A and B are shown apart, each in its own frame.
Chain A
Amino acid sequence: MSDQISIWPLAAVLISLIGAIPILLSDRRPNLRESWTMLIAFGKVIIVASMLPSVLAGGGFEFVIAEVIPGVPLALRVDAMGMFFALVASILWFFTSLYSIGYMRALNEHAQTRYYASFAVAISATLGVAFSANLLTLYLFYEMLSLSTYPLVTHEQNAEARKSGRKYLTYILGTSIALALPAMLIVYSLTGTLDFKIGGVLAGSGASPQLLALVLVLFLFGFAKSGLMPFHGWLPAAMVAPTPVSAFLHGVAVVKVGVFSILRVIFHIFGPEQLLAVNLGWVICTLASTTILVASLVALTQDNLKRRLAYSTIGQLSYMILGAGMLSAAGMTGGLLHIAMHAFGKITLFFCAGAIYVAAGKKYISHMDGLGRRMPITYLAFMFGAISIIGMPPLGGFISKWNLVIGAVNSDQLILLVVLLTSSLLNAAYFLPFVYRGFFAKASDPVFEEGIKEAPMFCLVPLSVTAFASLALFFYPDIFLRLAQMALSN
């Protein structure tokens, strides 16, 4: 089945961008405003899901927005890889919107209109990245995401939030302008195109291996949203944002846009064969492995729950990059699949952290002993998320990590196997004691024994759903697995 011209990809991207306008206009009427948010979120899931059957059948959708540069239009294209990411992002945005209502109202946060409007623009940008037909369009939406999430990071408007906002932009905007933009221009001047093609566009461009290596490194660091060390510092700093932002943007959308962009470049600009031919996979694997191990070790030392989750995210993101860097079918599938598996797991963990903050006002792990007895559902959900991220059955994370392990074995890189297993142990070490102490340790604060209850329903339902989804993905990974496999082959 060939691609068909269709307005639907544009609609999927624009619905929340245009939806930001009624949200802004309903400033004084919170219930109406949140109705808009939910309506848009629901519409978005429907539009994305409606395109799923034909993508699964091997088709695609295309839409050209504008011809801006010879050979490089602003254009959207829905293929298996984009559909994979869009599905994850739009489903999780729906639950995050629900959760936001519970969280923001329970804490009586200020500037909620700005919050919801920025969120709507951010999800538009995320889907834009997913559906970009070429690198220029991807770059456009990548920048749009950086700019629209800045007000969310700076939400608190105190000195710390402003400082974090500056750090956020310095890392993200700075690397994209200074590294990714020139890399993109070099690719364009070599090939005259920026389209994503299976097999890559750089193959046969006659570029020297040194130049290819330079471009690859520029891209790897240029898309700093992926948190590849040493450009990871923005992510822990961004934890100053309200928890739904950390959950969705810094657990799912923003960080995975970074990974997705890198995977796009590896799969569809360079092409795995080209990278194998010039033997550049080890560059990717080395950078990713280092990040995995260092981030996991740092996570162990963090007492602030959200910061621990942030370092955990940095490590897990590099799993996906590592998988791609293996350049074997199983490794690349596992890397892509981990985008979805980690998303459902990590968003659950963040939702739980937020629920704990809403219910008990606690941010530090050392103050949370015994809290699990008062908030069993939250803690149970946390455990599900944690096990998924560690990569144990029967949760979704096992599937992606299993593929990664096979990929490592297939590519004869036993050292990568060691990295993966060590990191899983470290994951267990920084998650499980927290759950255990929640249920069984002596309460660190006497109020835990009486006054604390579970967070509001608006918080509790989404986190239960995503935890359950993590479980379900173990038994029914078919759709995501299929899409991931389709993304890598004709």
Chain B
Amino acid sequence: MSASNLHVYVMAVPLLTAFFVNLLGRVSNSWVAPLVCGSLSISSVAALVLMGRVIASGGFSYTVGNWTPPFGIELVVDHLSALMLVLISVVALFASISALKSVEQELPGREHLFFTLFLILVAGLMGLVLTGDAFNLYVLLEITSITTYGLIAMGKGRAPLASFNYIIMGSIGACFYLLGVGYLYLMTGTLNMADIARILPTIDGAAAVATAFAFMLVGLWVKMALFPLHGWLPNAYSLAPTGASLIVAPLMTKVSIYLMIRVMFSIFSIDYLFLQHPQVQSGIVWVAALAIVSASALALAQKDLKRMLTYIIIAEVGYMVGGVWLANGTGMTGAVLHIVNDALMTLCLFLAAAAIYYRSGSLEFNSLQGIYRKMPITMAAFTVGAFAMIGVPPTAGFFSKWYLILGGIEAGHWEYVVALLFSSLVNAVLFFRIIEIGYFYKDGEHHGHETLNEAPLLMQAPLVISAVALIVIGLGSGPLVETIIKLAVPVGF
């Protein structure tokens, strides 16, 4: 591999492997596992090497096919996108290992179809974080959405309906985004983000630019399920096949947050976003606070582990949107750190849910009684994930919450601070309810040891690693922030 286009390989390997999975998977199922895990391992290693290179010598941009921007498509590799590439490839690798077992159980004989979509989705997500072109971003957004629709629709029961709901909402979101891009193209005559950013200050037409910005922002909010645009998410994520929710839940909303950051700071300026319209900036923080409180309250009403987790995801979207819009460096640092932490926490919890579902076939709270004695390792890892969601130090979740709350205090947005604390308390209630059911729901007579019934090793290994990672990243969050995230935060803060 030549050094300068490592990032292309990161994205191209899963994309090309997708076709081989489809072809060879038809011949024999035994091809699927090595192809999927192999390609994602290569991507992960390449992404890590790329990250190291970016830390050492800074970011760069790359023109696909040597078509110079603004005509060709530009790929941008900076600290933030390199970090996202590592996150996507590693999460996808872990998710795929566990998904191999659950897909084998839930979708027997259709593994190759599932993993074809899975790999295209991963490649699409990687493309999204790399692209420096506003229209190309739309195309990749649709690629990831369509593969997601397919993956969700493979679920049982009402899953196709949930997927259809998602298609409608997702298409509306994509249309909004595209309309915004159209307006910008009319105004500036270019689609390259850097180019737009250069031209925007020189033209007048404030209303058209504001309209474009609003359309793009709302479109992305639909995609990331910012409350109250979240309606499609709980059903889609909880009815999806277990393997699909393993990849979709940790990554989709987080990549959408990344896109919001990219659009905000690569196309528009800090001055335009925060200073010219302070009431918009402060209004969005209020919306985020409202989103956190409402989604947390809705999570309390759920009686199924996976559905509960989907509402937590929606609340966490509010965390990050609020953090970005606090308009200070601390909040932004918290938001970017939380992208990483939340992806890993969600991964850990969904991996645990997948392992439980694999063995017991249900995630209703009632069926979780005594689960700790049957699956001690799974539940230990689940507990670590739960502590991270609550924000107990030294797990990773505490530190991003620290920056977010601190940002809220610095900006004087006390409603956001209160919302974050409220959400932490609600998470404590949610998870200790499960811990109580799983561990202590049996009268204290001298019970014998119930038979162990742990999930297969392939499901346990990624789960345990992700739980350990939550603690390691928590303890290492100082260096992580200093070497990567401080530099990933858009200049100007």
- Which A residues have a C-beta under 8 Å from some C-beta of B? 65-70, 73-74, 108, 110-111, 136, 139-140, 143-144, 147, 150-151, 154-158, 161-162, 165-166, 169, 173-174, 177-178, 181-182, 185-186, 188-189
- Which residue of A143, A151, A178, A186 is within 8 Å of B439 (Cβ)? A151
Known contacts A69-B399, A151-B439, A161-B444, A181 near B421 by CB under 8 Å: yes
Nearest-neighbor residue (CB-CB) of A136 within chain B: B393
The distance in angstroms between the C-alpha atoms of A110 and B445, with both chains bound, is 7
Give the one of B393, B409, B443 with max A CB within 10 A: B393
Within 8 A of A (CB), among B434-467: 436, 439-447
Contact with A along B400-429 (1 / 0, CB 8 A): 001001100110000001000100110010
In the complex the two chains form, is B478's CB within 8 Å of A68's CB?
yes
- New A-B contacts (7) at CB < 8 Å, excluding given A154-B436, A156-B444, A182-B421: A68-B394, A68-B474, A70-B478, A70-B482, A162-B441, A166-B436, A174-B428
- Which residue of B428, B446, B475, B482 is within 8 Å of A110 (Cβ)? B446
Q: Could you say which residues of chain B place their CB within 8 Å of the CB of A136?
A: 393
The distance in angstroms between the C-alpha atoms of A163 and B445, with both chains bound, is 17
Q: Could you say which residues of chain B place their CB within 8 Å of the CB of A166?
A: 432, 436
16 A/B residue pairs, CB under 8 Å, sorted by A: A66-B478, A69-B399, A69-B477, A69-B478, A73-B478, A110-B444, A111-B444, A140-B394, A156-B444, A157-B443, A161-B444, A169-B428, A182-B409, A182-B417, A185-B402, A185-B405
Known contacts A166-B432, A178-B421, A186 near B440 by CB under 8 Å: no
- Closest A-B pairs by Cβ, 7 of them: A67-B478, A157-B444, A140-B393, A156-B444, A66-B475, A68-B478, A110-B446
Asked if B243 is at the interface of the complex by the 8 Å CB criterion, the answer is no
- Which residue of A147, A156, A177 is within 8 Å of B391 (Cβ)? A177
Nearest-neighbor residue (CB-CB) of B383 within chain A: A147
Nearest-neighbor residue (CB-CB) of B410 within chain A: A189
Asked if B387 is at the interface of the complex by the 8 Å CB criterion, the answer is yes
Q: Could you say which residues of chain A place their CB within 8 Å of the CB of B479?
A: 67
In the complex the two chains form, is B428's CB within 8 Å of A177's CB?
yes
A-B contact count (CB 8 A): 90
Nearest-neighbor residue (CB-CB) of B392 within chain A: A143
Q: Could you say which residues of chain A place their CB within 8 Å of the CB of B474?
A: 68
In the complex the two chains form, is B424's CB within 8 Å of A161's CB?
no
Nearest-neighbor residue (CB-CB) of A110 within chain B: B446
Asked if B476 is at the interface of the complex by the 8 Å CB criterion, the answer is yes
In the complex the two chains form, is B444's CB within 8 Å of A155's CB?
yes
Q: Could you say which residues of chain A place their CB within 8 Å of the CB of B405?
A: 181-182, 185
The distance in angstroms between the C-alpha atoms of A21 and B404, with both chains bound, is 35
In the complex the two chains form, is A110's CB within 8 Å of B447's CB?
yes
The distance in angstroms between the C-alpha atoms of A165 and B442, with both chains bound, is 14
The distance in angstroms between the C-alpha atoms of A188 and B406, with both chains bound, is 8
In the complex the two chains form, is B477's CB within 8 Å of A68's CB?
yes
Minimum C-beta distance from B297 to chain A (A)? 16
Q: Could you say which residues of chain A place their CB within 8 Å of the CB of B441?
A: 157, 162
- Which B residues have a C-beta under 8 Å from some C-beta of A? 387, 390-394, 399, 402, 405-406, 409-410, 417, 421, 424-425, 428, 432, 436, 439-447, 474-479, 481-482
The distance in angstroms between the C-alpha atoms of A186 and B417, with both chains bound, is 11
The distance in angstroms between the C-alpha atoms of A174 and B440, with both chains bound, is 21
The distance in angstroms between the C-alpha atoms of A136 and B478, with both chains bound, is 14
- Which residue of A65, A70, A178 is within 8 Å of B425 (Cβ)? A178
Nearest-neighbor residue (CB-CB) of A179 within chain B: B421
Q: Could you say which residues of chain B place their CB within 8 Å of the CB of A65?
A: 475
Minimum C-beta distance from A63 to chain B (A)? 14
Nearest-neighbor residue (CB-CB) of B475 within chain A: A66
The distance in angstroms between the C-alpha atoms of A150 and B444, with both chains bound, is 15
Minimum C-beta distance from B437 to chain A (A)? 10
Nearest-neighbor residue (CB-CB) of A111 within chain B: B444
In the complex the two chains form, is A143's CB within 8 Å of B444's CB?
no
The distance in angstroms between the C-alpha atoms of A136 and B392, with both chains bound, is 11
The distance in angstroms between the C-alpha atoms of A140 and B391, with both chains bound, is 10
Q: Could you say which residues of chain B place their CB within 8 Å of the CB of A154?
A: 436, 439-440
- Which residue of B393, B399, B476 is within 8 Å of A143 (Cβ)? B393
Minimum C-beta distance from A155 to chain B (A)? 7
The distance in angstroms between the C-alpha atoms of A269 and B132, with both chains bound, is 48
In the complex the two chains form, is A161's CB within 8 Å of B478's CB?
no
The distance in angstroms between the C-alpha atoms of A151 and B436, with both chains bound, is 9
The distance in angstroms between the C-alpha atoms of A166 and B432, with both chains bound, is 8
Nearest-neighbor residue (CB-CB) of B417 within chain A: A182
Q: Could you say which residues of chain A place their CB within 8 Å of the CB of B476?
A: 66
Q: Could you say which residues of chain A place their CB within 8 Å of the CB of B445?
A: 110
Known contacts A157-B443, A161-B444, A189 near B425 by CB under 8 Å: no
In the complex the two chains form, is B444's CB within 8 Å of A158's CB?
yes
The distance in angstroms between the C-alpha atoms of A158 and B440, with both chains bound, is 8
Minimum C-beta distance from B467 to chain A (A)? 15
The distance in angstroms between the C-alpha atoms of A139 and B399, with both chains bound, is 13
Nearest-neighbor residue (CB-CB) of B476 within chain A: A66
Q: Could you say which residues of chain B place their CB within 8 Å of the CB of A151?
A: 439-440
Q: Could you say which residues of chain B place their CB within 8 Å of the CB of A155?
A: 444
Q: Could you say which residues of chain A place their CB within 8 Å of the CB of B444?
A: 110-111, 155-158, 161
- Which residue of A73, A177, A185 is within 8 Å of B424 (Cβ)? A177
Q: Could you say which residues of chain A place their CB within 8 Å of the CB of B477?
A: 68-69
Minimum C-beta distance from A390 to chain B (A)? 36
The distance in angstroms between the C-alpha atoms of A185 and B445, with both chains bound, is 45
Nearest-neighbor residue (CB-CB) of A28 within chain B: B449
Give the one of A70, A108, A110, A189 with max B CB within 10 A: A189
Known contacts A136-B393, A174-B425, A177-B391, A68 near B440 by CB under 8 Å: no
The distance in angstroms between the C-alpha atoms of A73 and B393, with both chains bound, is 13
The distance in angstroms between the C-alpha atoms of A69 and B474, with both chains bound, is 10
In the complex the two chains form, is B391's CB within 8 Å of A68's CB?
no
Nearest-neighbor residue (CB-CB) of B445 within chain A: A110
Q: Could you say which residues of chain B place their CB within 8 Å of the CB of A158?
A: 443-444
The distance in angstroms between the C-alpha atoms of A158 and B445, with both chains bound, is 9
Minimum C-beta distance from B140 to chain A (A)? 35
Minimum C-beta distance from A76 to chain B (A)? 13
The distance in angstroms between the C-alpha atoms of A185 and B393, with both chains bound, is 14
In the complex the two chains form, is A165's CB within 8 Å of B440's CB?
yes
Known contacts A155-B444, A158-B443, A162-B440, A177 near B425 by CB under 8 Å: yes
In the complex the two chains form, is A189's CB within 8 Å of B392's CB?
no
Q: Could you say which residues of chain B place their CB within 8 Å of the CB of A69?
A: 399, 402, 477-478
The distance in angstroms between the C-alpha atoms of A487 and B390, with both chains bound, is 34
The distance in angstroms between the C-alpha atoms of A182 and B405, with both chains bound, is 8
Q: Could you say which residues of chain B place their CB within 8 Å of the CB of A140?
A: 393-394
